Each structure stands twice: as C-alpha cells, then as structure tokens.
C-alpha cells in the first residue's frame, strides 16, 4: 500500500479513541432504538452528521418534536466550540488540498485532541496521515453506533445513564491534555468559567458562556500561561 506508514501511524495513535468511540457509539445506537426509532438512523447519522454530543442531543430533539429552526439554533450553540479550536488547525490543514473539506467535517473533540497532543512524525506525508486519522475515528463511531442500534433492536437493554458516557470520554481527554501541557493554570481558568456558568447562567446558555469566558481569561492571563 502506497501510504501504509501513514495508515499504521494513524491507527496506532487512534487506538484510545477507538476504545472510546466503539463504546460511546454503541451506547448511542442503544439509546436511539430504545426510543423506538429505526436502527438504520444510527449509521446514517454517523455518516452525515458525525457529531457525538449533537447526535445524543438529536434524540431529545426528536422526542419533543422540535422544529427545524429550533434544532438549527441548538445545533449551532452545541457545536460552536469547534469554531474556536478549529482555528488552531488552519495552518496544518492549509496544504491538504482536496481533503480539506472532509478534515473540517470530520473534526471532533477527540480528533482535535489527538492532532494537538500527539507529536507529528516528520517522515510522514501529513495530509494523508490526517485523513486516515479522521476517517478511522469516524469508522469507529460508525461501527459502534451501527452495532448498538442493530443489537438494541433485537435485545432489550437498560439504557439508564448511557448519556453520561460522552462526558466520561471528555474527562479522559482533558487528563491527557494536562499530561502533555504539564500546566494546571489553563484548566483552573476553565474550571472557574464552568462553575460560574453553572451557578449563574441558564442551562441553555451555559456552554457558550463558559467557552467565551474561558477564552477571555486565557487571553488575559496569556503571559502567565506561557511562562509556567
């Protein structure tokens, strides 16, 4: 295979995400069919939407029969965080040519974490490595969600608490980021912003408020963060 080295590297790097996505995807598939939706919606959503948190939220949207405008607005605010951290990858994706659109579409929190926490191998053709990494991560989610939906359609499961599985993965990724940075100050700023949002901001605006406040705090304390 022409790009075997890039594929092998992408696979080895993506193993932690594979372990998480197979389980999380399975949980999503189970949760979806537990509300009596057809199993094939899980793989279709994993191909054309591919946004873990939003896919879990979509089940709630379906259940309350939310309108398209309401869904569009909620989806925008749920995924607005990606517009912030995606900016840091503009330079990396600049020379990816025809793959750029897929890399943007396939950018998730976990893929971003891998791209920013794992050191690049200078001997690899990076654009193919990025594509393989993104495609592998999406395939894990697709396989997990499809399996969960198919099995859940035939076997009854108790799905109570499954929605917390995505939060658990975010916690693990946060720990990995801390291990790489070895600087707790940015995380304390994020914790402060999150607690402030939790205590004083309505639940439907908490995410956006905490992200914006955390960014303002990090820019305000930029020199301290860089010096530690």
Residue-wise pLDDT for 51-65, tens only, equals 877 787 777 777 767
pLDDT of 143 > 90? The answer is yes
Same domain, residue pair 133 and 99: yes
**Alpha helices (H) along the chain:** 4-34, 41-48, 52-63, 68-79, 81-85, 90-93, 100-105, 109-117, 126-154, 165-181, 185-200, 206-220, 222-227
pLDDT digits (tens, 9 = 90+) for 61-85: 777 676 777 677 767 766 776 777 7
Same domain, residue pair 138 and 191: no
Under 8 Å between Cβ of 126 and 158:
no
Q: Of the given ranges (10-14, 29-33, 132-136, 201-205), which has the lowest mean pLDDT? A: 201-205
Same domain, residue pair 92 and 151: yes
pLDDT value at residue 150 = 94
Same domain, residue pair 125 and 221: no
What is each CA distance from 80 to 27, 65, 74, 224, in whole angstroms?
24, 23, 10, 27
Same domain, residue pair 144 and 195: no
pLDDT value at residue 135 = 94
pLDDT of 202 > 90? The answer is no
Same domain, residue pair 215 and 174: no
Same domain, residue pair 194 and 163: no
Last residue of a domain, one of 181, 200, 215: 181
The pTM (predicted TM-score) of the whole model is 0.70
Percent of the chain with pLDDT over 90: 15
Which position has the higher pLDDT, 223 or 12?
A: 12
Q: How many domains does the chain have?
A: 2
Same domain, residue pair 25 and 76: yes
pLDDT of 91 > 70? The answer is yes
183: Cβ contacts below 8 Å, ≥ 6 apart = 225, 228
Same domain, residue pair 166 and 202: no
Same domain, residue pair 98 and 34: yes
Same domain, residue pair 103 and 205: no
Print the domain residue range for 174: 4-181
Same domain, residue pair 70 and 108: yes
């Amino acid at each position: 295979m022409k790009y075997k080295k890039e594929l092998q590297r992408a696979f080895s790097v993506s193993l932690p995400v594979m372990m998480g996505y197979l389980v999380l995807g399975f949980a999503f598939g189970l949760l979806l069919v537990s509300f009596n939706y057809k199993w094939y919606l899980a793989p279709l959503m994993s191909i054309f939407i591919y946004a873990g948190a939003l896919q879990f939220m979509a089940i709630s949207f379906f259940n309350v029969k939310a309108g398209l405008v309401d869904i569009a607005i909620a989806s925008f605010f749920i995924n607005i965080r990606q517009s912030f951290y995606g900016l840091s990858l503009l330079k990396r994706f600049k020379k990816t040519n025809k793959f750029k659109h897929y890399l943007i579409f396939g950018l998730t929190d976990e893929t971003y974490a891998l791209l920013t926490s794992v050191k690049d191998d200078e001997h690899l053709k990076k654009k193919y490595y990025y594509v393989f990494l993104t495609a592998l991560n999406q395939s894990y989610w697709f396989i997990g969600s499809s399996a969960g939906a198919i099995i859940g359609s035939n076997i009854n499961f108790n799905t109570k608490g499954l929605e917390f599985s995505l939060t658990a993965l975010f916690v693990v990724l946060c720990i990995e980021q801390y291990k790489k940075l070895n600087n707790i100050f940015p995380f304390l700023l994020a914790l402060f912003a999150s607690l402030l949002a939790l205590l004083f901001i309505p639940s439907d605006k908490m995410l956006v408020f905490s992200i914006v406040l955390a960014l303002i705090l990090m820019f305000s304390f930029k020199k301290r963060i860089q010096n530690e």
